[in-house]
Amino acid sequence: MGDVFKALADPTRRTILDELTERDGQSLFEICSRLATRHGSTSTRQAISQHLAVLEAAGLVRSRRHGRTKIHHLDTEPLRSITERWPLHGPEE
């Protein structure tokens, strides 16, 4: 679970997850383009690739090869362990 918290601690990685939530199955080029145009990001492709590697190590992103291109998909399964550890409850009456 520590990897998940580490991955979520960085605002750029959270923005990448937001972009994959909105449009799943993107290449590195597409993610970089969306971050630059929609969020004004000046991060290099190498920096975004490193962020994706952290997200993948935490299990929050799955990647698959499509020819020479790597396609990235959101995987919210690791977030379930957080909600199972600290379940949401309404206010006690």
Q: Residue 63 belongs to a domain with what CATH number?
A: 1.10.10.10
User: Quick one: pLDDT at residue 92?
Assistant: 64
Overall domain count for the chain:
1
For the segment 28-84, what is each residue's pLDDT rounded down to a tens digit?
Answer: 999 999 999 999 999 999 999 999 999 999 999 999 999 999 999 999 999 988 888
- What's the whole-model pTM score? 0.87
The side-by-side arrangement of strands in the sheet containing 26-27 is 26-27, 69-74, 61-66
Q: What residues make up the domain containing 63?
A: 2-83
User: Quick one: pLDDT at residue 2?
Assistant: 79
Residue 91 belongs to some domain of the structure: no
